[in-house]
Amino acid sequence: MLLAYNLVRYQMIKMASTLKGYWPNQLSFSESAAWVMKLLWTLEGALPGRILELVKNVGAMAQIVKLPGRRERSFPRVVKERPWKYPTAKRKNASQA
Per-residue pLDDT tens digits for 61-93: 788 888 888 788 788 888 888 887 777 777 776
Whether residue 59 is predicted with pLDDT greater than 80 in this model: the reply is: no
In a domain, 86, yes or no: no
Q: Tell me how many domains the chain contains.
A: 1
pLDDT at 77: 85
3-class state of residue 94 by DSSP: helix
In a domain, 30, yes or no: yes
Non-local (6+) Cβ contacts of 36 within 8 A are 7, 8, 11
Instruction: Report the predicted TM-score, pTM, of the whole model to 2 decimal places.
Output: 0.60
Rounded to 10°, the helix 2-18/29-44 angle is 100
In a domain, 59, yes or no: yes
In a domain, 57, yes or no: yes
Other residues' Cβ atoms within 10 Å of the Cβ of residue 65: 21
For 16, the domain range is 2-63
In a domain, 70, yes or no: no
In a domain, 96, yes or no: no
In a domain, 95, yes or no: no
pLDDT at 80: 84
- DSSP bridge pairs for 27: 66
In a domain, 35, yes or no: yes
Whether residue 97 is predicted with pLDDT greater than 60 in this model: the reply is: no
